[in-house]
Amino acid sequence: MEFKPTQTPRLEWTGDALAIGFFEDVIELTGDLAQLDEKLAGTLKELINEVEFKGAVANSAITRVGSGSPIRKIIVVGLGKPDDLKLETLRRAAATCARLAKKEKCKTLGISFPICHTPDATAQVITEGIELALYQDRRFKSESDEKGAILEQIDLLGLSNTEAAITRARQISAGVILARELVAAPANSVTPITMAETAIALASECGFELEILEQEDCEKLGMGAFLGVAQASDLPPKFIHLIYKPAGIPRRKLAIVGKGLTFDSGGLNIKATGSGIEMMKIDMAGAAATFGAAKAIGHLKPDVEVHFISAVTENMISGKAMHPGDILTASNGKTIEVNNTDAEGRLTLADALVFADKLGLDAIVDLATLTGACVIALGDDIAGLWSTDDGVAAQFAIASELAGEKFWRMPLEEKYFEGLKAIHADMKNTGPRPGGSITAALFLKQFVKDTPWVHLDIAGPVWTEKDNNYNSAGATGFGVRTLVNWVLSDVVNS
Ligand code: BES
Ligand code: MN
Ligand code: ZN
């Protein structure tokens, strides 16, 4: 698929499908649109009237144009009220048009949308919406379903000189797709070993430095919390640390830490039927977003140093499994009574955060499919955000808005740490059910000293059961775009 920015007016564009964006309630066919309608023998007006198209967000329609016309199909798509126009609206509208064009077997698609913010930003989100909407993961199907024509060329009308923005969008989309593929692949396909292989491949693709700590290395560093989780698996744990260093002096130094449970059975507190145990291949979505962001950043090459970290393992059962009640010692010396082996993510993250904290960076973000409680609180579309630093939290608010990914800031309510008090150890790994995503965040906070830190609980949005705009059913690659925007952002660290 090729994206081509062009100054060709929509009146003169020729190809299979022309998509026009309309603002709500201003569906006037005046100026060039009147001329276009005339050229198409009144088809545009007919379509708008027939489907009572008003330009509301998410509304769209497509129809055939009479033969002999320079275009085969015309698509109208709603953009809502002009004052409410957001980049995300255009990302979604572009996805809608691409899906329609694909379904109608079009090879070429012309997109005529208004500019939002800047031509570059507009071209970027249109490209992202189309790339992400058309991606289909058929790696585990025995047959491909590509019948007939596939979209070959997208012309971005009125957006000339946006080639660099289009390239950026494609690099970011490739990162999102890597994250989707890692999350979608089952636990008999993505394992700690293959995650390490993926890191090796990324390092050679992007020129990253790479350090993979094996079990013995983790033992030497005293990573008792991570290794406690790993001890029942037949597969070796892998502590992965990829480093992107810019050519010059880095403006900032950051760490992205992802929860990397390639499967979470719950351990001896095994997940019961109905708990979604068969979905627990997604429990490495934090690590997947970390790798996806690494892939994008490795190509975008910002002047920021970034450490991509994941303590990867499975949470299994065997004769070697942690007993509920075991006391583990993390690499910062803190002791943890494991009152629930299913609260394993925070144990692996504890040692990963201690490791990241020791690097002396400007900020650390962790992403984790950490708690069902966060899904109960915020639903499937919104991730939870906790932070010790208002400045970095504000950077995330901007980064996520541009990305079209939703986060809601949650409280680090210190009083709730009382729920994690243990009699003989420094803390338990699980508190009472109420506020379960908050106590999980407070637990993680014990492993970060002074580095400004953001914790993202992404258990909800990393997966979708049905097609949703540019996300097809399955893994969404959630988090990658926000992470990339955050790393690229010019906001000075507070
Ligand atoms: N990986 C799960 C959280 C999860 C739940 C992710 C649903 C995605 C969808 C996590 O390890 C877990 O099991 N959390 C427990 C914590 C509890 C034992 C305190 C939970 O949320 O039930
Ligand atoms: Mn668990
Ligand atoms: Zn888990």
Amino acid residing at 380: D
Residue 268 CB less than 6 A away from ligand 1 = no
Q: To the nearest whole percent, how much of the chain has pLDDT over 70?
A: 98
For residue 118, is pLDDT > 50?
yes
Ligand 1 mutation target, pool 278, 281, 317, 370, most atoms within 8 A of CB: 370
Task: Among 314, 342, 430, name the best residue to mutate to test ligand 1's pocket (greatest count of ligand atoms within 8 A of Cβ).
Answer: 342
Token representation of residue 142:
């025995």
CB of 345 closer than 6 angstroms to any ligand 1 atom: yes
Residue 494 has pLDDT above 50, yes or no: no
Cβ–Cβ under 8 Å, residues 338 and 325: yes
Which residue's CA is minimally distant from atom 7 of ligand 1? 372
> How many alpha carbons lie under 13 Å from residue 463 in its C-beta half-sphere?
18
Nearest-CA residue for atom 9 of ligand 1: 459
422, 333 Cβ separation under 8 angstroms: no
Number of H helices, E strands in the chain: 14, 20
Is the CB of 477 inside a 6 Å radius of any atom of ligand 1?
no
Q: What is the Å distance from ligand 2's center to 275 Cα? A: 10
Residue 373 in contact with ligand 1 by CB distance below 6 A: yes
Catalytic residues: 271, 346
Assess whether the C-beta atom of 324 lies below 6 angstroms from ligand 1.
no
Nearest to 165 by CA among 127, 136, 124: 124
Q: Is the CB of 283 under 6 A from ligand 1?
A: yes
The mean per-residue pLDDT over the stretch 47-70 comes to 94
**What is the Cα–Cα distance from 26 to 162, expressed in whole angstroms?**
28
**pLDDT tens for residues 319-356?**
999 999 999 999 999 999 999 999 999 999 999 999 99
The residue whose CA is least distant from atom 17 of ligand 1 is 343
Give nearest CA residue, ligand 1 atom 8: 459
Which ligand gives the minimal distance to the CA of 433?
1
pTM above 0.75, yes or no: yes
List all residues 6 or more positions away from 146 whose beta carbon is below 8 Å from its beta carbon: none
What band does 67 get if pLDDT is binned at 50, 70 and 90?
confident
pLDDT score recorded for residue 18: 98
Report d(CA 180, CA 255) in Å as an integer. Answer: 21
- Asked whether the predicted pLDDT for residue 25 surpasses 90, the reply is no
Centre of ligand 1 to C-alpha 459, Å, is 8
List the end-to-end C-alpha distance of the chain, in Å, as a whole number.
41
Q: Which two tokens stand for residue 145?
A: 């379903």
Tokens of 104: 């109608």
Compute the distance from residue 345 Cα to the ligand 3 centre, in Å.
5
349 in ligand 1 pocket by Cβ < 6 Å?
no
Segment (H or E) for 294: helix 285-300
372 Cβ inside 6 Å of ligand 1 = yes
Integer CA distances (angstroms), 174 to 82, 169, 293, 296, 303, in order? 31, 9, 9, 7, 20
Provide the phi-psi class of 77: left if phi over 0, else alpha when psi is between -120 and 50, else beta: beta
Q: Look at 26-35, 338-347, 432-441 and tell me which has the smallest mean pLDDT.
A: 26-35
pLDDT at 420: 98
How does residue 492 score in pLDDT terms, banded at 50, 70 and 90?
A: very low
Ligand nearest to the CA of 436: 1
pLDDT bracket for residue 491 (50, 70, 90): low
With a 6 Å cutoff on the Cβ, whether 88 touches ligand 1 is no
Q: Closest Cα partner for 310 from 281, 267, 342, 353?
A: 353
Ligand 3 centroid to residue 64 C-alpha, Å: 50
Å from CA of 348 to ligand 3 middle: 10
Q: Which pLDDT tens digit goes with each residue over 226-279?
A: 999 999 999 999 999 999 999 999 999 999 999 999 999 999 999 999 999 999
Judge if the beta carbon of residue 344 lies within 6 A of ligand 1.
Answer: yes
User: Which amino acid is it at 266?
Assistant: G
What mean pLDDT is predicted for residues 61-66? 94
Measured by CA distance, the residue closest to atom 16 of ligand 1 is 343
Q: How far is the CA of 321 from the centre of ligand 1 (A)?
A: 18
pLDDT band at 317 (very low <50, low <70, confident <90, very high): very high
Q: Which two tokens stand for residue 371?
A: 């708690």
Q: What is the average per-residue pLDDT within 102-115?
A: 97
How many A from CA of 427 to the centre of ligand 1? 19
Tokens of 215: 């079990």
DSSP, collapsed to helix, strand or coil, labels residue 242 as strand
Q: What is the atom index within ligand 1 of the atom nearest the CA of 459?
A: 8
Closest CA to 322 of 240, 258, 265, 273: 265
Average pLDDT, the chain: 97
Does ligand 1 come within 6 angstroms of the Cβ of 371?
yes
| 279, 344, 371, 439, best to mutate for ligand 1 pocket (most atoms within 8 Å of CB) | 371
Q: Is the CB of 158 under 6 A from ligand 1?
A: no
Band of the pLDDT at 66, cuts 50, 70, 90? confident
The whole-number pLDDT of residue 493 equals: 40
**Which atom from ligand 1 is nearest to the alpha carbon of 374?**
21
Q: Which residue has the tokens 């973000």?
A: 365
Q: How far is the CA of 370 from the centre of ligand 3 (A)?
A: 6
DSSP string, 307-343: EEEEEEEEE--STTSPPTT-EEE-TTS-EEE-S-TT-
Task: Give the Å distance between the CA of 135 and the centre of ligand 2.
Answer: 30
Q: Are 41 and 51 in contact (CB under 8 A)?
A: no
